[in-house]
Amino acid sequence: MSQKTEQLLSLLDGQPVIPVLKIDDVDDAVPLARALARGGLRAVEITLRTAGALECIRRAATEVPEAIVGAGTILDAAQFDDAAKVGSRFIVSPGITHDLLLAASRSDVPLLPGAITPAEIMTARDAGLDFLKFFPAEQAGGAAFLKALASPFAGIRFCPTGGVSRNNVQDYLGLPNVVCVGGSWVAPDNLVRAKDWTAIEALAREAAGLRKG
């Protein structure tokens, strides 16, 4: 599993913000992924929160080769397998379970599982995972909580998601145990509905320019 973690980090390639996308219209998947990639955010997470999410992943993965398309809100092994079959390059889950770890162990697709409690973090560590999703970040204690985890869990790195915005993103990116953040502000619902890909590209370019530390 540790080898797959390095594979995932290589896919993200230093990208500071991973767009977290909930796409209602499958026809928006391709132009949205293209706009984000043009802005410098090639890796995107399409969440399984809509009926057409798997088709969105399939289309974006097939028709936007410059994008690195992952699947989010994966809750069980069946969803993991379905998302991998349609072209997901990485899988993101809000939590961690034995079944998800088993699905990840038999797949070439790397898993970014959610972990916010010490017990969950230790479970992930025992499975060989040292890069985790911290969700819901703001509601779970925010940057201050993550900072407190850095000492007892040295070597564990996080991607905080949930409540991360333009206003607080630097609080997270400034932490030594944060690799990147997940956020929806780079593709807000109103701009997606308006199909304003130019505005979304501009937001992506601004986010891509953020720096760690």
Kindly give the interhelix angle for 197-208 and 29-38, rounded to the nearest 10 degrees: 40
Instruction: For residue range 113-168, list pLDDT tens digits in order.
Output: 999 999 999 999 999 999 999 999 999 999 999 999 999 999 999 999 999 999 99
Domains and their CATH numbers in the chain = 2-205 (3.20.20.70)
Nearest-angstrom CA–CA distance, 4 and 22 = 26
Handedness of CA 32, 36, 42, 43 (dihedral sign): negative
Q: Is 45 a catalytic residue?
A: yes
DSSP assignment string, the chain: -HHHHHHHHHHHTT-SEEEEE--SSGGGHHHHHHHHHHTT--EEEEES-STTHHHHHHHHHHH-TTSEEEEE---SHHHHHHHHHTT-SEEE-SS--HHHHHHHHTSSS-EE-B--SHHHHHHHHHTT--EEEETTTTTTTHHHHHHHHTTTTTT-EEEEBSS--TTTHHHHHTSTTB--EEESTTS-HHHHHTT-HHHHHHHHHHHHT----
**Catalytic-role residue among 4, 45, 138, 201:** 45
Q: Is 4 a catalytic residue?
A: no
pLDDT of residue 126: 95
Q: What is the reported pTM?
A: 0.96
**Catalytic-role residue among 133, 138, 201, 206:** 133
Is 212's pLDDT higher than 90? Answer: no
Using pLDDT thresholds of 50, 70 and 90, give the confidence band for residue 36.
very high
Across 39-58, average pLDDT: 98
Across 104-109, average pLDDT: 96
Q: How many CA atoms lie within 13 A of 77 on its CB side?
A: 11
